[in-house]
Amino acid sequence: MIANAARPLSTAAWWEGLDEEVLEVLAEYGPMAPVEIGRRLGMSEDAVASILSMLASEGRVRIRLVEARRES
């Protein structure tokens, strides 16, 4: 969601736009890792994880799988 110069977006509208983009990717492609959502939207994995955390706290998505990091 991009604001035009005549009518800039409020912060709340900007966040809602990001939320909707993440939800649209999930609706279209199904469950996927935050890194893959980030690739599709041009966002970092950390940014997507933050958005997913907020969406989960609102009950808009469900996080079902967590994997322990493997030591190298």
Residue predicted with more confidence, 5 or 28 = 28
> What predicted TM-score, i.e. pTM, was given to this entire model?
0.78
CA distance 36 to 54: 18
pLDDT band at 45 (very low <50, low <70, confident <90, very high): very high
Class (C level, CATH) for 12-57: mainly alpha
The single-letter DSSP state of residue 44 is -
Pull the structure tokens for residue 57. 């706290």
- Can you give the residue ranges of every domain in the chain? 12-57
pLDDT in tens, 6-30: 667 799 898 899 999 999 999 999 9
